[in-house]
Amino acid sequence: MSDSNTMKAEQRTQFGKGAARKIRRAGKVPAVMYGHGTDPVHITIPGHEAMLALKHANAVLTIVIDGTEQLALAKDVQRNPIKPVIEHVDLVIVRKGEKVVVDVPIHIDGESATETVVALESPTLQVHAEATNIPESIVVSVAGLPAGSQLLAGALELPAGVELASDADLLVVNVTQMISQEALDAELAGEEGEAAEAPAAPTPAASDSES
């Protein structure tokens, strides 16, 4: 479940890459908060607190600006590809009891039947959930499933209060038969044999004009 994390924010008036770098050097994160017909509010939030609060997807924060609290859902978190730094956060204003559409990660639980392979075809599932009660993940059990089993989005058991927003026919999990090493070796040997039997390309004839 998403935790509501309270953090004090400050409004900002300087923008651009230079201003953003200055904010991050000060240990803060530039962010923008919008939604419910309000004008976007550009703010900064504490960097360390943001790293802790945004470990999980769909975190809900309580942003405090000049003593006023506002619930906001972390919609887009831009992270540095190299350093453990958050570069920018998009926050969507939400209200208690309001339902939002979010992508929730799928977590595979259990082991399928012997000599099978479980493929997670859709790593996330789009759902309707209360903004203050978004599940961290949707658990899908594959315990004992035989080869040929397929789990579609519409057949999954969702947490209480959560409704499916994705297509019910979306393939989430696919269980296939494991290929034995012997079968793999035989297949590779067959491909090598076909390559060896392929006729060689004809050598171009010499030109009559050559001396």
**pLDDT tens digits, one per residue of 14-52:** 777 888 888 888 899 999 999 988 889 999 999 989 999
pLDDT of residue 183: 67
pLDDT of residue 1: 43
Distance CA 157, CA 176 (A): 22
Closest Cα to residue 101, out of 181, 145, 35?
35
121 contacts 140 by C-beta, under 8 angstroms: no
Q: Which residues of the chain have pLDDT under 50?
A: 1-3, 207, 209-211
Distance CA 133, CA 174 (A): 29
pLDDT of residue 124: 96
For residue 36, the Cα-to-chain-centroid distance in whole angstroms is 25
φ, ψ dihedrals at 126, nearest 5°: -85, 130
Check if CATH label 2.40.50.140 holds for domain 4-94: no
pLDDT of residue 96: 87
Question: How much helix, strand and coil, in percent to the nearest 5, is found in the chain?
Answer: 15, 40, 40
pLDDT of residue 37: 84
Q: Residues 123, 127, 132, 137: is their CA dihedral positive or negative?
A: negative
pTM (2 decimals)?
A: 0.73
Residues of the chain with CATH 2.170.120.20: 101-191
Q: How far apart are the first and last CA of the chain?
A: 85
The CATH number that domain 101-191 falls under is 2.170.120.20
pLDDT of residue 106: 96
pLDDT of residue 57: 87
90 contacts 149 by C-beta, under 8 angstroms: no
Residues of the chain with CATH 2.40.240.10: 4-94
CB atoms within 10 A of CB 161: 13
User: What are the tokens at 80?
Assistant: 């540095």
Query: Which one-letter DSSP state was computed for residue 154?
Result: G
